[in-house]
Amino acid sequence: MTLRTGVYPGTFDPITLGHMDIIRRGAKLVDRLVIGVTTNASKSPMFSLNERLAMVEREVAQIEGDVQVVSFDSLLMDFAEREGARVIVRGLRAVADFEYEYQMAGMNQQINPRIETVFLMADVSLQPIASRLVKEIALYGGPIGRFVTPTVAAEVAARVEKIGRKGS
């Protein structure tokens, strides 16, 4: 029997309730879901790669199914091929996400036509959540408890305390 493997890539800096929603739902679509935690040169991470790996592993520990967390620093399609994936899972929040993701899916299909991209719409209540905005709110002392788990909120607060809040 061949397992259907999917990959859900992201920086997860930090992992949000929106990410968790996509992971829970994505895990139901495949036999094995690999959460690929990566670096992104265009983003300045609040947490190191190892910190993000630990954070994601802890947060997904209770999700049913075969969910694994690994890091990667390569083209997504090379990573997906190495993991034996036939599906890339991507979450969508808004039309702006769709335009970017549609372009990426087209490029990825040109690189490896054997791997399909599947888009999942975030739950309506979670659609506005973005890691970038969570970090910005936290850096200005705003409440982030509605966007991340309590443990992640505490980690973000501790990091903000360490690096210094803006506007104070």
The three-state secondary structure class of 116 is: strand
CB count within 10 Å of CB 65 equals 15
Structure-token match 């739950």, residue found: 123
Active site residues: 19, 43, 93, 131
Over the range 68-96, which residues count as b (16 or more CB within 10 Å of their CB) and which as e? ebbebeeebbebbbebebbbbbbbbbeee
In this structure, what is the dihedral angle of CA atoms 36, 40, 43, 44, given to the nearest 10 degrees?
A: 90
CA 31 to chain centre: 19
